[in-house]
Amino acid sequence: MRLIFLIISIVFLIPAFAQEPTKTAVASKEAKIVDEINLSDADIEVFKEQTKQKVEEFQQHIVTIGSKDEPAEKRNMAEKEALKLFFKGAEMQTSIIMPDGAITTQSRPMEKYLARLKSLPYTSVIIKFYDLVYISSFTKGPDGRYYSSATVIQEFTGFMGDNLVYKDVTKKEIEIVIDLVEDKFFNEKKWKVFLGNIKATETKKA
């Protein structure tokens, strides 16, 4: 009797174990789903336009944050709004032309860069951006995200009183990331454009 009960128990337990997927199987299924989600050419064109808008928005925030003439409240707000444009963990690389002509670069987390920009030791700062130069084609990465880059030209001028202290022109390359994120309001995932790391690829005297 005990043997019959044991056999019946095993028969009922086998389907239960069979139905529970392993972690490897779940991960493999998720990877396959990500691989199957692709953007169409029409989608890419839309995101190129959104990329341009986000880059221009970031430029406007930078001009506001750097300006000593703007109210502190407006500069603080621009700082917060600028951070919303970026992928988590993004960094900004800055470059400085030294008195001997050598160029030094340094990378900082975006939040630290923006805070530092707001408190630069100049009495006046003027930042200008030339037209967006180039947005490269988007390519899909192994993580399922799409990547591109935008190249911009920035002119920086710092004054102490009426005296020009520092001025340069820098070409910057902005990483662009399109990621599939959870939209809590609609309870679904949607593609969204983020700005990523920014590199100073060329700096010269203005």
Beta bridge partners, 182, equal 189
Contact in structure between 107 and 91 (CB atoms under 8 Å): yes
CA neighbor of 190 nearest in space, from 178, 199, 200, 201: 178
Strands 163-183, 146-160: pairing kind: antiparallel
Contact in structure between 169 and 206 (CB atoms under 8 Å): yes
- pLDDT per position as a tens digit, 108-147: 999 999 999 999 999 999 999 987 668 999 999 999 999 9
Strands 134-135, 139-140: pairing kind: unpaired
| Residue in the structure block whose two tokens are 């130069």 | 133
Confidence (pTM): 0.80
Contact in structure between 96 and 103 (CB atoms under 8 Å): yes
pLDDT at 133 (0 to 100): 66
> C-alpha 125: how far from its chain's center?
25
Amino acid at 85: L
- pLDDT per position as a tens digit, 138-179: 999 999 999 999 999 999 999 999 999 999 999 999 999 999
